[in-house]
Amino acid sequence: MKIVQAVGWFHPDSVGGTENYVARLAHRLRDLNHEVLVVAPDTATQEPRQYQHDGVSVYRYPIPARPSRDEAQGRRRVRGTQHFDAWIQRQRPDVLHMHTFVTGLGLDELIAAKAAGAATVVTTHSASLGYLCQRGTMMQWGDSLCDGIVERSKCASCELQHRGVPKAAALIVGRFAHHSTTVALPGRIGTLLSIGSLIDWNLHRQQEVMRSVDRFVVLTRWAFDAVIANGAPRQKVLLNPLGIDRSAWVRKPFTAGRRLTVGFFSRFEAIKGAEVLARACAALPHDCDIAIEFRGPIASAHERAVHASVRAIAGSDPRVRFAPAVEPTEAGRVLADYDVVVCPSMVLEGGPTVALEAMAVGTPVIASALGGIAELIEDGHNGRLLPPGDSAALAAALAEIARAPAIVDRWRRALPAIRTMSDVADDYAAVYDALVPHAASRTLV
């Protein structure tokens, strides 16, 4: 079977969680004797390019680094996507599997793949769950988990607050948006006044996706329920939770009297909650004997700013240290050396993957009560779940385990089994076979 994996960014110029997921999935599908190609938009080039990554052919098509408002909102085809259309017609894959919608890879490209004769599968890795959440986090007002139901006034107000409008004013304008139509004004004012119509437009696009796609895959039970509650046909929606590569790393033994080491092992992005942990560290009593290590890549200007903010909040606290990022192949070793990993995410996530990797090597997790990790951890039994953004609650949890390390040992003995990427790939292969049964005879030999 010929399978195209379409993703918003890809190696080697981007190494985030979705890119790693797609690379691992491609590798395992090739082990199952499928032909796998990867396609992704590219804002850094003016012409299409093709290269090999880990034995997989990758096609990158150029799109503008600064798309117009209509392009970003999906009201007009993004310049450069005609290269995708031509490429998918040449390739004629049995399956196009799209991972998360971004500018230059979305509904229009899904329709183009259908026109090329491909069965279509979408996996939504982001909290937007397709086009449902304009804010992109599923966090109402940015601080609490939304109910996931798209409503024009509610969602318009939340997005306005996200764009800097004070909450009280956002609520008023949101109520106005319930009755307004599209306001065709240029610039920021036009954008703010047309938020209501943008929410409607996104819901329309979500409905079009559900009509066009053969299967829509989510990573958590919460997302499954939310997508269906917004009108998706139940028979098209599938749940395939995250999986990881198995690690051979072995935990270091815990010895009585040794101070606990807590790790933050993630990108320095605001949504990952590094600043929440830094504020929790600053709130710890001075006699709390615990070590906290921040470790992650610092590549973008945003990551540098968050890293600087974390350092400023932590100050000269001798309990806090910073370590450089490591290669993905070394992640298991680092995670196994921590006693606890903290994942204070500020958005709904399918994982986060690092939490799954930590538990797979026997390291318990303290995390925000959001997303996939909240469906694995039983609070107080095999880890802790805390309100997102609550640095005081996180400080209290860290102080508690510092005083009573036996709690961590108890969590460790109750850690859940973690799925593997082989499990994930097998589930997808079964989906592909069901959609394109005639292609089974064309798998690679």
- pLDDT 10s digits, 142-162: 999 999 999 999 999 999 999
Asked, colleague to colleague, whether 2-133+198-244+421-442 and 260-413 share their fold, the answer is yes
Topology of domain 2-133+198-244+421-442 in CATH is Rossmann fold (3.40.50)
Reading the block at residue 85, the tokens are: 């259309």
CA dihedral (70, 74, 77, 78) positive or negative: positive
Q: How far apart are the first and last CA of the chain?
A: 11
Average pLDDT, whole number, for the chain?
A: 92
Comparing 180 with 431, the larger pLDDT belongs to 431
Reading the block at residue 90, the tokens are: 């040449």
So where are the chain's domains? 2-133+198-244+421-442, 260-413
- pLDDT 10s digits, 193-204: 689 999 999 999
Residue 113 φ then ψ, to 5°:
-70, -40
- Please say whether the beta carbons of 58 and 40 come within 8 A: yes
| For range 299-317, the mean pLDDT | 95
What residues are paired with 61 via a beta bridge?
41
| For range 57-61, the mean pLDDT | 98
- Please say whether the beta carbons of 401 and 260 come within 8 A: yes
- pLDDT 10s digits, 346-390: 999 999 999 999 999 999 999 999 999 999 999 999 999 999 999
274: Cβ contacts below 8 Å, ≥ 6 apart: 264, 266, 268, 294, 296, 306, 307, 310, 344
- Please say whether the beta carbons of 232 and 413 come within 8 A: no
Superfamily the domain 260-413 falls into: Glycogen Phosphorylase B; (3.40.50.2000)
C-alpha span between 277 and 189 (Å, rounded): 36
- Please say whether the beta carbons of 213 and 121 come within 8 A: yes
Q: Where are the alpha helices (DSSP H) in 73-215?
A: 81-91, 107-115, 152-162, 167-177, 187-193, 195-212
